[in-house]
Structure 1
């Protein structure tokens, strides 16, 4: 693969714990670009020292995004190559970067992803929760009222939902979650991903409160809340068929299809019940 191109912003994913997770491509890009913008240069210096990266570092974090972003844009427009990294994982995902990327897109500056570690994807992949559909909500609000409002939306949510949370607030978050969705909802808590003391807890909200209430919680947290259980329809298949036949003019084939989906049954099972109704003459 050719070297980096001038006038290009590279979003480079860095390890979330284990330094061995830096990709070969990420290492090459970090060594070849003209400048690396890091969320915390002191933190990133450890990575650079480990891999012998000597590229110039500059800070780019939440509170200097406006001023520093303008300088980075100027460097890019002058034909320099710039890499953006966060303290861990993929830049712009609950980390600084969105504003810079948006501005580059507006100005026609090329933006290139250098994929790699992501706490969200790592946690989801090992959680044992449904992964076909999921939602990432970023960091949970620090105050209980706002957390409860966020959790209240999960009462009928059919996707696995992920949040970032600090270890000092995990128990409070779990208590709020229990108040809003109940103690039996299946969840997972990923802690210290890729590090020596990595832990993946999977169980109900009540079990999580018991588990993490035993001792002080340490490490960065990904909280995953499983989908709400499907509500069982009231009444019987026979009653549902009768009700639909009386209330609508749909052909019986369509009614059978809808009732089968509602009860989680095969169409043939519901069709047999419909034939019994026909035999009874309603």
Structure 2
């Protein structure tokens, strides 16, 4: 590990830290340390990071703004790569937007709406990065990234960079080809938006943001929706009907505002959230015969 860290520092790839607490980098403010934490300052630096990781045959994981993630209390073995500054370029050319994987999705949605470009109104309240949104096909209000993505630039573990078309991304509900079939890092995306009336676009996005603010718990740290919707049912509605709003284990509680959110009400452990997830799944299975699947990604060492 020391040799790997030494090589990363010598390669001048950006920020490099050892035993960095991931609670500092997740929206739910939970997570043990990463053995090595790297924030590359460019695509070239990211390629160097990946080459060093492969040379040492280390496990790795890319993150963006840490939403939709639950990291174990024991942390993550290997290298965590955070996409942020240095991978957040933006170019708007008429209706086509080319944006870095580290760019804030909320910031992008706000900016494009003010320029009279329609397509990202759904994303106004999604607190993730563009790369993370592509990775999980983030969506809301009847739309998602698959509706606007033209192509995505992906760095694969062997160091190659490819542009994958919308079809090649194999998007489905909250999934893409990057999750299991072809693991890689989304370093940039080209989005196809449409010109429209600025006032109407801004109003529609603000309406979506207001709805999220009024119905979802942003007064406590959370990871976003915990369960995928078992369509035609909705996870939040099932959990609420089961009387589980406000149920807590340790520092983790099912939100009283929206039952598909688990909030960190103070020093929650990852295990508290996992125990709560298990309890909810068991209750919904017993009452309704429906097996809930997690939308939040659970990663890290097993306890």
TM range (shorter): under 0.3
TM-score (norm 1): 0.28
Higher helix share: 1
Higher strand share: 2
TM-score (norm 2): 0.27
